[in-house]
Structure 1
Amino acid sequence: MGDPHRVGIVGLGVISRAYLDTLANHPAVSIVALADLDALRSASVAAAIPGAESMSVERLLARPDVQTVLNLTIPAAHAEISLGAIEAGRNVYVEKPLAVTFPDGRSIIERALTAGVHVGCAPDTVLGTGTQTARAAIDGGLIGRPLSATAVMVTPGHERWHPHPDFYYAPGGGPLLDMGPYYISALIHLLGPVRAVVGAASRLRAERVIGSGPRNGQRIPARVDTHVTGVLEHANGALSTITTSFDGVATTAAPIEVQGETGTLAVPDPNTFDGDVRVFPLGGTGWRVLAPRAGYVGGSRGIGLIDLVSADGRRSPRAGGDVALHVLETMTSLLTSVAEGRRIELTTAVQRPAPVPLTPVDDWKGSHAYGR
């Protein structure tokens, strides 16, 4: 099996807990270094992980035994930390989005290519049995030629639960850049790359009220559009309509639905790893649930990094930087379309990542044999 892959983590905010639950005891990786703006928080987390050491970001990036930097900072810092890691010769796995601007994202990918290091990026939820079973159904011809899709995410806003939600409502935030990566990544796995987009957006109110934590009741400005919708033209001719909103309350729409010539698929929430995939065939009388047929069973955040480590040069990472850059350009092009009122053609293209075979939880949690 070889020695565990050595990982340093930068950023220990809310999302880090989910990654640590997956990675801290995984035999394929060893968390050796931790860094956070809050040194006390970093030290506290390090104390609970055998062999891990708390340190500054600069020291972590320079540490020679760190092979991959897991970048869990806020989106505005993604590019700075990722580029610093790449310049130090480290692989990078970054929380979504890859960066907050397309030029920054492109710089990450181009510099990594020059440096000969790998880039991975969330979301890895699309590697679970939900999205992967839906993909297997499409690839197997269950609904015939896919014609269109809808993707819908409606919430009243993250300030209701997040104690420090400011970055969600600052440039680089908003519902599309925050939640869009889940839905657009899933659409790329299901239908392939996007060639052009048209977008529209609105902003319900100028302020938000924090609903929890020490700043409960504090008002913060909403400096970005909080309801974004658009049409994605896929290279295969399919059309997807996406809605991401921090302004609504709830929706009855399936998170993702794919319409084909001979059937329709209802796909579970791409912010989760599993869930029921349902099909309504042409001439049928109702929906039926498909048994899981692909994906990492019982997947959890961090499995994209495990998938990257297990690829070991034999294949491209399934949650790779190339997909993340294409997702980022899709989102930023939608926002450009909103600002300029025109259809935007994308400059990037990407291959659909390799499908994930049905992989039992014991396989991906217990050995290097997973991720074929």
Structure 2
Amino acid sequence: MGGPLTTEAHPTPAEPTTPLRIGVVGAGVISRAYLGHLDDHGRAAGLALTAVADLDPERAAKAAAGRRGVRALTPDELYAAEDVDLVLNLTVPAVHADVALAAIAAGKHVYNEKPLAPDRESGAAVLAAARAAGVRVGCAPDTVLGRGVQTARAAVAAGHIGQPVAATAFFTSPGHEAWHSDPEFYYRPGGGPLLDMGPYYLSALVHLLGPITAVTGAASRATERRTIGSGPRAGHSFPVEVDTHVTGVLSHTSGALTTLLMSFDTHAAHLPRIEVHGTGGSLSVPDPNNFEGPVALHPAGAGEWRELPPSAGYAVSGRGVGLADMARALRTGTAHRASGELGLHVLEAMEALLESAATGRRVEVNADCPVPPAVD
């Protein structure tokens, strides 16, 4: 398998004495989850929020309000701030690379929300700039470091399903415009169900089955316009610029084949999130968009599924676990798990799937991606 499914644990660091100072760029919807986790667990995890920036100064001020020692800044002020070691990039996907490159140019580490960048070329440029500057790049999702996916990974590594041969991965939704007050970016280049939700599923599949070597895909869109269903702009319609139903087959370095479906055109379904099937049984994997969830095993010849107790993964979970893991890695000089390299590999695989859908051809993927160490 290209990139071993290692279970080597990183050393447990001592209680951090100097926290990694975090500056957030982008104070939109997803920032609430990150800021809440930093409020609850940041100090214990060696993280300290020091600044928040947004193109909307009022949004930045609102996010900073009530948080001791946290300032509201412009993005340029945040990049230059001496009390920011790492920029947490929570902007819209179209500018992920621009913000990351600006932060790297200022000598900061970067942790990007998914996807790493709007396209593989700009994603590769981010990693190249970081290597040249001697800083690190992290990338969401970190949900796959929780007890759900990591317990499933431990079961696969222990041989509970024998040799993996196949997997299925399904995300089905009618789209985000029903609940999101500003959903247009989900339907522009860099969005769509694959680039929005695919990183959770493909990252989990790499943890479970190894990197992706090739893909075959098909795609469609059900409608050319969508209508916002909530908030002050409810009733406003906007154009759909990307395919909203993507399906295909992924080939992994392990030899396993994954059948993937990502859709914003599905109103209801009884499909599992992820299942992995092997020569000795089958495994039900929980929603990779969550940190927790039941993992069930059905050994070959068994009469029923049985739930496995949590056996791996970070027990304290929430958006920001990947940041804490990165802080630990910086202190110990080891690899961080929610890496830019994995983010780029997932981005390349997703773009290859869309290319295959457009051309009708099987597309090869660069599988030279280290599988992150398991979380014991």
Determine if the TM-score, normalized by the shorter chain, exceeds 0.5.
yes
* 8 A Cα contact 1:329 1:348, kept in partner: no
1:273–1:298 CA contact under 8 A, matched in 2: no
User: Take 1:249 and 1:298, find their aligned partners in 2: how far apart are those partners?
Assistant: 33
Partner of 2:39: 24
Of 346, 349, 355, 2:368 maps to 349
Deviates more, 1:135-144 or 1:297-306: 297-306
Distance 1:331 1:9 in 2: 27
d(CA) in 1 for partners of 2:323, 2:268:
32
Aligned-pair distance for 1:30? Answer: 1.1
Distance 2:341 2:118 in 1: 15
Q: CA deviation at 1:100?
A: 1.0
Q: Which residue of 2 aligns with 1:12?
A: 27
Q: Secondary structure at the match of 1:24?
A: helix
1:325 maps to 344
| 1:62 matched to 2:80 | yes
TM-score by length of 2: 0.94
Q: Which residue of 2 aligns with 1:297?
A: 315
- 2:303 is the counterpart of 1:285: yes
Q: Give yes or no for contact 1:194–1:349 (8 Å, CA) kept in 2.
A: no
The residue type equivalent to 1:10 in the other structure is V
Encode CA deviations 1:211-237: one digit per residue, 9 max, x unaligned: 100111111111110000111100111
Partners in 2 of 1:117 and 1:75 — Cα distance? Answer: 21
2:111 alignment counterpart: 93
- How many angstroms does 1:348 deviate by? 4.4
Q: Pick from 152, 160, 165: which aligns with 1:147?
A: 165
* Preserved CA contact (<8 Å) 2:33 2:318: yes
d(CA) in 2 for partners of 1:127, 1:276: 15
Task: Go from structure 1 to structure 2 and tell me whether the alpha carbon gap of 1:196 and 1:94 turns closer, same or farther (over 3 Å shift).
Answer: same
In the alignment, which of 186, 210, 213 is matched to residue 231 of structure 2? 213
Partner of 2:189: 171
Is 1:338 the equivalent of 2:357?
A: yes
Aligned equivalents of 2:164, 2:21: Cα separation in 1: 42
Tell me the distance in 2 between the aligned counterparts of 1:190 and 1:235. Answer: 11
Q: How does 1:348-367 map to 2 (within 5 A)?
A: 348-357=367-376
Give the Å deviation of 1:346: 1.2
Task: List runs of 5+ in structure 2 lacking aligned partners.
Answer: 1-15
Partner of 1:192 in structure 2? Answer: 210
Identity over the aligned pairs, expressed in percent? 54
Cα deviation, residue 327, structure 1: 0.3
Q: Once the two structures are superposed, what CA deviation does each residue of 1:293-332 show, in whole Å capped at 9, x if it has no partner?
A: 0001141111101100011253211101010000000001
In the alignment, the residues of structure 2 paired with residue 283 and residue 211 of structure 1 have an alpha-carbon distance, to the nearest angstrom, of: 48
Give 2:136's aligned residue. 118
Which of 1 and 2 has higher RCO (CA within 8 Å, sep 6+)?
2
Measure the CA separation in 1 of the matches of 2:169 and 2:181. 28
User: Is residue 244 of structure 1 aligned with residue 262 of structure 2?
Assistant: yes
The 2-side partners of 1:196 and 1:168 are apart by 26
- Verify: 1:105 aligned to 2:123, yes or no: yes
Deviations 1:252-284 (A, max 9, x none): 111000000010000000000010000111110
Deviating more after overlay: 347-356 vs 177-186: 347-356
How many residues matched?
357
The question of 1:44 aligning with 2:62 is answered yes
Alignment check: 8 A CA contact 1:86 1:115 kept: yes
Amino acid of the structure 2 residue aligned with 1:320: S
- SS in structure 1 at match of 2:34: helix
4+ long deviations beyond 4 Å: none
TM-superposed deviation, 1:24: 2.7
Question: Which amino acid in structure 2 is aligned with residue 287 of structure 1?
Answer: W
The letter for the 2-side match of 1:128 is G
Counterpart code for 2:151: T
CA distance in 1, matches of 2:312, 2:166: 22
Task: Structure 1: state its 5+ residue gaps.
Answer: 358-372
Contact 1:198 1:343 in 2 (8 A): yes
Distance 2:334 2:157 in 1: 20
Preserved contact between residue 24 and residue 30 of structure 1 (Cα < 8 Å): no
SS at structure 2 position matched to 1:158: coil
Q: Which amino acid aligns with 1:356?
A: V
In structure 2, what is the Cα distance between the partners aligned to 1:167 and 1:96? 13
Q: Which residue of 1 aligns with 2:333?
A: 314
Q: Report deviation, 1:65.
A: 2.2
Match of 1:2? 17
Q: Give the Cα separation in 2 of the matches to 1:355 and 1:246.
A: 31
Cα pair 1:93 1:120 within 8 Å, conserved = yes
Contact conserved, 1:154 with 1:251, CA < 8 A, in 2?
yes
In 1, Cα distance between equivalents of 2:228 and 2:310: 39
- Provide the secondary structure at the position in 1 that maps to 2:185: helix
Decide whether the 8 Å contact of 1:193 with 1:234 is kept in 2.
yes
Q: Distance in 1 between matches of 2:160 and 2:169?
A: 20
2:178 to 160, 163, 167: 160
Residues 128-157 of structure 1: CA deviation (Å, up to 9, x unaligned): 000000000000000000001000000000
Q: Cα RMSD over matched residues?
A: 0.9
